[in-house]
Structure 1
């Protein structure tokens, strides 16, 4: 029963990250529908409420998937190579989630304003944040799989 539950948790992590990624891509589409003017690296564009909501939902799903992924109990058994691999995936998961949240936050904040804003172009940060959500799914599942095969809960 334990391995079946681990597989379900991995599928849940992947599903949350993929849906978060898709929402990030849809947020970028919604943002690109707004009126904007671009000259070289400077850009003026109006905020999109839809992009704001979709970006916020993508960031929320990324955080939920990350919290679920890092929940395995930590009572080490043995196997030094697998333990080191687990630590590597753990660090990569944190790095990827930080990058994804920063990118999504930049996109969310640029669409939170009630008036048009001008400045340096932040080209497609919501789209790239959506892609990072999907990459997070890979590293989170890899971490969860290595951590649950090494660590036992309640033994």
Structure 2
């Protein structure tokens, strides 16, 4: 299962980064008023977010939330993953937006705006991937 799960986590990382980057570019453009600032922030976070997301996926894969030794795949688990990922992702976006725009307030605005959009998008991404068997030898119950 270990080798196969890496493929799944890499695929999830890539698909989430596409969704997340598009969202960041649009929000950054709207908030900064400059499409190039939006593009710079969106593309700058691609590398940091992919690395952070992969590490987040690996950590959650190792977390055992059930009493019988099986990994619990449920809505509660997906909500918990959504919250922890959003904290990490928002902090990364705020820092990058501040550095790129030169304005800490712009970083805060972009970070707070994406909390809502990204949590909704991430939850939907998790639910979609829960229904996909790619990278699983068998479906865990």
Flag whether TM exceeds 0.5 (same fold). Answer: no
Higher relative strand content:
1
Higher relative contact order structure (alpha carbons within 8 Å, sequence separation ≥ 6): 1
TM-score under structure 2 normalisation?
Answer: 0.32
TM-score in terms of structure 1 length: 0.30
Rg (Cα) greater in structure:
1
